[in-house]
Amino acid sequence: MNERLMGAHMPAAGGIQNALYSGKKIHCTSVQVFTASPRQWKYNPLKPETVEAFEKGKQETGIQSVVSHAAYLINLAAPDEKIRRQSYDAYLQELHRCAELGIGYAVVHMGSHLDKGEEGGLKTLIQSLSDLLQEMPEGVKIAMETMAGQGSALCYKFEHFSTVLESLPDERLAICADSCHLFAAGYDLRTPETYAKVWDEFDRLIGLNRLQVWHVNDSKKPLGSRVDRHEHIGEGEIGIEAFRLLMNDPRFEHVPMLLETPDVDRFEDDLNRLKSLIGKNE
Ligand SMILES: [Zn+2]
Ligand SMILES: [Zn+2]
């Protein structure tokens, strides 16, 4: 078997290539990065030397599997056209930066409908995605993240993704599954039976081949709470058995698995904990 793609969302302070070097130090074989500030609309265009430093970083660390996470402000389902347009432009720029940096996936939250209701929100979201698919550069995919369902967030149900994909059966739309969000949204991964049921449902409504990125996080909040609070692996409400099932699921062994647990200083321990589960039968 090839080396598993495992890592974490690494800080990019001082230059995005630093995410690669600090990832390498804790034995990441894949990393997630912000290519711009996640809490601001404004961004500066990439400088050629940034692209060069990032390419060099990939060569020197051997980390070729890189995923970006788009800004949190982006709401592709926003009922306010000005905000939706701003979100659209920001995410399109993210996709361009990814293409330039050789980053294959740009993870994005599916937005909130606010006062519009889920059906209306999904319609707006589908319009945004449809336009993005027309305008986006080659070499990068849209990774739609499974959400916890806080507030009026969309896509905490597999049905929402199946609505999107029925309208837009495009290969460039992938799914980023977040274990904390799935659990908070009511998908129980804790026993072999419930775990199997979740993936049967996912496969029926979305198709397992769409699942191309994993965010591996435990959850501070209980099943179905619809509250998004990450916890370190095995220390939350999900518990270690679910992660054992996940790490030994051959359907996901080629999918990059990235931590977003609360404390960066504990990423290495979390990674080691996940790795120790591989090959373990109960
Ligand atoms: Zn996210
Ligand atoms: Zn989260």
CA distance 127 to 271: 38
**Å from CA of 49 to ligand 2 middle:** 32
Which ligand sits nearest to residue 149's alpha carbon? 2
């495009």: which residue's tokens? Answer: 170
pLDDT more than 90, % of the chain: 94
Give residue 115's pLDDT.
Answer: 82
Where are any strands of DSSP class E within the chain? 6-9, 30-33, 65-69, 105-108, 141-145, 173-178, 211-216, 218-219, 230-231, 257-259
Mean pLDDT score, 68-78: 97
C-alpha distances (whole Å) from 43 to each of 52, 81, 93, 135 are 19, 21, 9, 19
Query: What are the CB-based long-range contacts (under 8 Å, 24+) for 9-13?
Result: 9/33, 9/69, 9/258, 9/259, 9/260, 10/264, 10/267, 11/264
State the ligand closest to the CA atom of 228. 2
Mean pLDDT of 186-202: 98
94 CA distance to ligand 2 middle (Å): 20
pLDDT of residue 269: 98
**Looking at residue 173, what DSSP letter applies?**
E
Residue 105: pLDDT band (50, 70, 90) is: very high
* Rounded Cα gap, residues 22 and 32, in angstroms: 12
Across the range 152-180, mean pLDDT stands at 98
pLDDT in tens, 112-137: 999 889 999 999 999 999 999 999 99
Distance of CA 53 from the midpoint of ligand 1 (Å): 26
CA of 149 to the centre of ligand 2 (A): 10
Residues 34, 84: Cα–Cα separation, whole Å: 21
> Is the pLDDT confidence value at 281 over 90?
no
Q: Which residue has the tokens 């149900």?
A: 157
Compute, in angstroms, the gap from residue 143 CA to the centroid of ligand 1. 10
Point out the residues that are catalytic: 39, 69, 72, 109, 145, 178, 181, 215, 228, 230, 260
What is the 8-class DSSP label of residue 30?
E
pLDDT of res. 2: 61
Q: What confidence tens digit (pLDDT) does each residue in 33-51 have?
A: 999 988 888 888 899 999 9
CA 216 to ligand 2 center in whole angstroms: 10
Which residues lie at CB < 5 A from ion ligand 1?
145
Q: Which domains does the chain have, with CATH numbers?
A: 6-277 (3.20.20.150)
Closest ligand to residue 150's CA: 2
For residues 159 and 154, give the distance between their C-alpha atoms in angstroms, rounded to a whole number.
10
pLDDT value, residue 214: 98
Mean pLDDT of 72-91: 97
Q: How many A from CA of 185 to the centre of ligand 1? A: 14
Strands 65-69, 30-33: parallel, antiparallel or unpaired by DSSP? parallel
Q: Among all ligands shown, which has an atom nearest to the Cα of 181?
A: 2
Ligand lying closest to the C-alpha of residue 110: 1
Mean pLDDT of 222-242: 98
Q: How far is the CA of 45 from the centre of ligand 1 (A)?
A: 23
